[in-house]
């Protein structure tokens, strides 16, 4: 779960009261809606507090600035995604089903928060190095989590394969929600099956050793 | 969907695997779900999971089993659940928020 101390408040400050906890949650929820609507660069603190029905002063009790609330949201959403993928893949004994379950959880998450994911995909990496670092950390966590499954599936270049999997899923999700034109929509489960098939057919054929593993470019 | 027992066991494991987060913490959490209670005692940072209610919990979290499972598995934001009154907290709210930090 998101650590509620992630804000402009410092660790030495007293814990949030119940009312403050709710206020902070209201600000985060409002900020997400405004970021989704206006994008990062188009969002102002004034618009966020207006959407939350709170004062500017209330905002600065919890967040230092726009960047702070975006970072808190990014952290909160990443926590939700990690947790979903963890629980749906945890007990699947079959590696292929585990892979499909993880992909399905990702597509369902994207389906639930399409505008947020779009903003993060399009703008997130270009805003600030710290945002990019957060996304990199999330991707590294997911790639590491998929590593045992990939090994079980016989994939040898697991790092390359894991990041290829994440990239494929992100692009397919973006296409599904924002670029698809005439093709009939696919459910999260259908997308997961399709991506798992594509991935498994391709990943097994990665030629090795890769250059960094001792091979040559020749 | 995992069972409540698995989720609480995972919470206990999560706290054990990150002792720095709970160092020095003394708290008794009671979770009242639909027809079942669980207790998480943290003594000087060390967690112990007990099935059943606590004698004198510092904090009691109340939710239906479904809502709690949705919170625990990332399908429901805990603050949103609280605002929607799907999650109620009795006792020390600060400890409830501390638990959220422990489970991140």
- In B, minimum Cα distance to A21 occurs at B79
Which residue among B73, B77, B104 places its CB closest to the CB of A3? B104
pLDDT at B82 over 50: yes
**Distance of residue B102 Cα from the nearest chain A Cα, in angstroms:** 8
% residues pLDDT > 70 (chain B) = 98
Residues of A with CB under 8 A from a CB of B: 1-5, 15-18, 21-22, 24-26, 28-29, 76, 79-84, 86-88, 90-91
In chain A, residues with a C-beta closer than 8 Å to the C-beta of B80 are 25, 29
User: Does an H or E element contain B50, and which?
Assistant: strand B46-51
B104 vs A29, more confident: A29
Confidence band of A210 (pLDDT split at 50, 70, 90): low
- Residue A143 lies in domain: 3-205
pLDDT at position B98 is: 85
List phi, psi (to 5°) of A13: -75, 160
pLDDT digits (tens, 9 = 90+) for A129-183: 888 888 888 889 888 888 888 888 888 888 888 999 999 999 999 999 999 888 8
Write A85-93 long-range contacts (CB < 8 A, 24+). A85/A142, A85/A145, A86/A145, A86/B74, A87/B2, A87/B72, A87/B73, A87/B74, A88/B73, A89/A145, A89/A149, A90/B2, A91/B2
Residue B83 forms contact with A (CB below 8 Å): yes
Residue B101 forms contact with A (CB below 8 Å): yes
Number of domains comprising chain A = 1
A40 neighbors A106 (Cβ within 8 angstroms)? no
In chain B, residues with a C-beta closer than 8 Å to the C-beta of A81 are 74
Instruction: Say if A137 falls within a structural domain.
Output: yes
Instruction: Say if A217 falls within a structural domain.
Output: no
Whose tokens are 């967040």? That residue is A63
Average of per-residue pLDDT across A22-37: 94
Instruction: Say if A25 falls within a structural domain.
Output: yes
Give the CA distances from residue A61 to residues A56, A131, B98, B101, in Å, rounded to whole numbers and listed in that order: 9, 22, 19, 19
Whose tokens are 């030629």? That residue is A207
pLDDT digits (tens, 9 = 90+) for A86-144: 999 987 888 889 999 999 999 999 999 999 999 887 777 777 888 888 888 888 988 88
Are the beta carbons of B80 and A84 separated by less than 8 Å? no
Instruction: Say if A106 falls within a structural domain.
Output: yes
Give the CA distances from residue B31 to residues A93, B43, B49, B91, in Å, rounded to whole numbers and listed in that order: 30, 17, 11, 12
CATH number assigned to the domain comprising residue A176: 1.10.357.10
pLDDT at position A5 is: 34
Q: Which residues pair with B33 in a beta bridge?
A: B36
Q: What is the ipTM of this complex?
A: 0.82
Instruction: Say if A215 falls within a structural domain.
Output: no
pLDDT digits (tens, 9 = 90+) for A42-71: 999 999 999 999 999 999 999 999 999 999
pLDDT at position A10 is: 45
Instruction: Say if A186 falls within a structural domain.
Output: yes
**Distance of residue A197 Cα from the nearest chain B Cα, in angstroms:** 24
Confidence band of A212 (pLDDT split at 50, 70, 90): low
Are the beta carbons of A28 and B79 separated by less than 8 Å? yes
pLDDT digits (tens, 9 = 90+) for B31-42: 999 989 999 999
| N-to-C CA span, chain B | 20
Average of per-residue pLDDT across A70-76: 91
Instruction: Say if A111 falls within a structural domain.
Output: yes
């Amino acid at each position: 779960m998101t650590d509620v101390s992630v804000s402009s408040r410092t660790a030495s400050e007293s814990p949030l009261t119940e009312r403050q906890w709710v206020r902070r949650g209201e600000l985060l929820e409002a900020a997400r809606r405004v970021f989704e609507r206006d994008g990062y660069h188009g969002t102002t603190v004034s618009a966020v507090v207006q959407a939350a029905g709170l004062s500017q002063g209330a905002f600065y009790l919890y967040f230092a600035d726009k960047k702070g609330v975006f970072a808190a949201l990014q952290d909160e959403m990443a926590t939700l995604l990690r947790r979903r993928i963890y629980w749906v893949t945890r007990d699947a004994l079959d590696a292929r089903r585990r892979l499909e379950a993880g992909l399905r959880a990702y597509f369902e998450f994207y389906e639930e928060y399409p505008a947020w994911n779009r903003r993060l995909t399009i703008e997130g990496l270009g805003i600030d190095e710290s945002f990019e670092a957060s996304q990199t950390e999330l991707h590294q966590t997911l790639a590491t989590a998929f590593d045992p499954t990939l090994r079980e599936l016989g994939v040898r270049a697991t790092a390359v394969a894991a990041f290829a999997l994440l990239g494929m899923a992100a692009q397919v999700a973006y296409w599904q929600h924002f670029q698809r034109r005439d093709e009939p929509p696919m459910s999260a489960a259908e997308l997961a099956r399709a991506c798992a098939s594509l991935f498994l057919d391709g990943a097994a054929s990665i030629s090795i050793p890769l250059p960094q593993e001792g091979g040559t470019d020749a | 969907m995992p069972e409540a027992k698995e989720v609480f066991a995972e919470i206990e494991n999560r706290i054990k695997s990150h002792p720095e987060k709970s160092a020095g913490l003394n708290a008794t959490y009671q979770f009242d779900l639909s027809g079942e209670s669980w207790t998480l005692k943290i003594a000087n940072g060390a967690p112990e999971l007990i099935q059943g209610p606590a004698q004198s919990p510092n904090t009691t979290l109340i939710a239906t089993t479904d809502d709690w499972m949705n919170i625990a598995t990332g399908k429901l934001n805990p603050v949103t659940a609280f605002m929607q009154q799907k999650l109620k907290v009795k006792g020390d709210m600060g400890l409830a928020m501390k638990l959220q930090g422990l489970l991140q």
